[in-house]
């Protein structure tokens, strides 16, 4: 006796649903723009660290090897490298401000102002889950997209060291910011603060402005604290020295003179700098202070990654506290 066999239902491919699907569906334009920024920025930094660096380095080699006042060299390669390096640094360093504008204005502010968020809380998803998803997915995209851009820029900058005379030092604010995890941390803070601003103000435009200002403020605070976040290295030199060894590629935190008793006396006077020791009055002043040499407390290039990680840690601590505040505000608003 034959039996009828029921065909098995075709397996369905897994699909995103719920608040995750809603976030990705509503913010498709922002995701597309972010993908273009990441891909375009990666292509720009790869071009910068490869062909542009080689062409500019060759131009500088020709210029430095020429004994005549007027030399023939590829000036266009030099200017192109300088411009592209500036543009690439701006893309990475200013990305957190774009995230702040989007988080405060569109991701949270517009939905709270229009009532879309309130509708979701009452019909389809709990408020806490709504906020968790809207923080988690953008945070993941920020880390996955911005981290490679910063590392690629640092790689491109490193490729020009010792080869391009006009390359920015690592202590340059824009170069330093674009070369490590600091912009990633600031972008994550901007994301969390966008939620706080939207829930507190309830309007998109004010939330956008406040989030941008707060993100810039936190970055400025971390930048000001940066040199104090890691122990400095002290370099010394005698009174007859023309400069203090080991300070040319370092960030100077403090400088001054060393007295006969071994005390370090800090000061901004030009007499405390070896280059100006022959200035009028300096000899008398140094003699009155019983100076025996100069010193400088510096951060050498070897401190680059420790400083980056410490500064990022400070900003991430702000981001964690801000995310906690966002959940508390949401709980109070939906109580």
- Using one digit for the tens of pLDDT, what is the confidence trace for 59-105? 888 888 877 766 777 889 989 999 999 999 999 999 998 988 888 88
CA 175 to chain centroid, in Å, comes to 9
Instruction: Please state the rounded mean pLDDT for residues 131-142.
Output: 90
Residue tagged 């391009």 (tokens): 164
Which pLDDT belongs to residue 126?
Answer: 84
Q: What angle do CA 30, 33, 37 make, to 5 degrees?
A: 135
pLDDT in tens, 162-202: 889 889 999 999 999 999 999 999 999 999 999 999 999 98
CB of 191 closer than 8 Å to CB of 103: yes
Instruction: Please state the rounded mean pLDDT for residues 6-30.
Output: 58
50 has pLDDT over 70: yes
pLDDT in tens, 273-286: 887 767 777 888 88
3 has pLDDT over 60: no
Report phi then psi at 126, rounded to 5.
-70, 150
311 band by pLDDT with thresholds 50, 70 and 90: very high
Ordered alpha helix ranges (H), the chain: 18-26, 28-47, 53-65, 75-93, 95-102, 111-114, 116-123, 127-159, 173-178, 182-201, 204-225, 282-288, 304-333
Which pLDDT belongs to residue 247?
Answer: 84
265 has pLDDT over 90: no
Which pLDDT belongs to residue 283?
Answer: 81
Which pLDDT belongs to residue 333?
Answer: 83
pLDDT in tens, 146-169: 999 999 999 999 999 888 988 999
Which pLDDT belongs to residue 133?
Answer: 86
Which pLDDT belongs to residue 20?
Answer: 65
Which pLDDT belongs to residue 19?
Answer: 61
14 band by pLDDT with thresholds 50, 70 and 90: very low
Cα separation, 149 vs 37, in Å, equals 10
- For residues 95 and 14, the model is more confident at 95
* Percent of the chain whose predicted confidence (pLDDT) is above 70: 90
11 has pLDDT over 50: no
Pick from 57, 96, 56: which is nearest to 80 by CA? 56
Which pLDDT belongs to residue 18?
Answer: 58
Report phi then psi at 40, rounded to 5.
-65, -40
Which pLDDT belongs to residue 231?
Answer: 95
25 has pLDDT over 80: no
Which pLDDT belongs to residue 280?
Answer: 76
Average pLDDT over the chain, rounded to whole?
A: 86
6 has pLDDT over 60: no
- For residues 155 and 109, the model is more confident at 155
Which pLDDT belongs to residue 9?
Answer: 47
Longest CA pairwise span in the chain (Å): 119
The domains of the chain are located at 32-229+304-333, 233-303
């Amino acid at each position: 006796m034959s039996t009828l066999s029921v065909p098995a239902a075709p397996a369905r491919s897994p699909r995103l649903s719920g608040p995750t699907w809603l976030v990705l569906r509503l913010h498709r334009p922002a995701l597309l723009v972010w993908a273009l920024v990441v891909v375009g920025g990666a292509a720009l930094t790869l071009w910068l660290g490869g062909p542009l660096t080689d062409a500019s380095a060759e131009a500088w080699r020709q210029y430095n090897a020429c004994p005549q006042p007027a030399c023939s060299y590829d000036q266009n390669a030099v200017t192109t490298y300088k411009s592209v390096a500036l543009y690439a640094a701006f893309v990475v360093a200013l990305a957190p401000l774009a995230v702040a504008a989007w988080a405060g204005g569109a991701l949270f502010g517009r939905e709270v102002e229009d009532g879309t968020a309130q509708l979701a809380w009452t019909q389809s998803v709990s408020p806490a889950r709504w906020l968790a998803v809207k923080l988690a997915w953008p945070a993941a995209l920020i880390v996955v997209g911005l981290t490679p851009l910063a590392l690629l820029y640092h790689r491109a900058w490193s490729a020009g060291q010792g080869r391009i005379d006009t390359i920015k030092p690592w202590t340059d604010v824009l170069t330093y910011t674009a070369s490590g995890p600091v912009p990633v941390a600031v972008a994550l803070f901007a994301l969390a603060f966008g939620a706080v601003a939207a829930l507190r103000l309830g309007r998109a435009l004010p939330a956008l402005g406040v989030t941008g200002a707060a993100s810039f403020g936190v970055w400025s605070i971390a930048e000001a604290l940066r040199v104090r976040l890691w122990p400095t290295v002290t370099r010394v030199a005698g009174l007859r020295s023309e400069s203090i060894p080991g300070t040319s590629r370092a960030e100077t935190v403090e400088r001054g003179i060393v007295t006969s008793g071994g005390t370090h006396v800090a000061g901004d006077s030009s007499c405390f700098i070896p280059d100006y020791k022959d200035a009028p009055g300096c000899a008398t002043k140094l003699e009155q202070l019983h100076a025996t040499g100069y010193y400088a407390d510096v951060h050498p290039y070897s401190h680059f990654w420790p400083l980056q990680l410490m500064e990022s840690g400070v900003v991430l601590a702000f981001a964690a506290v801000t995310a906690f505040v966002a959940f508390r505000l949401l709980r109070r608003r939906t109580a």
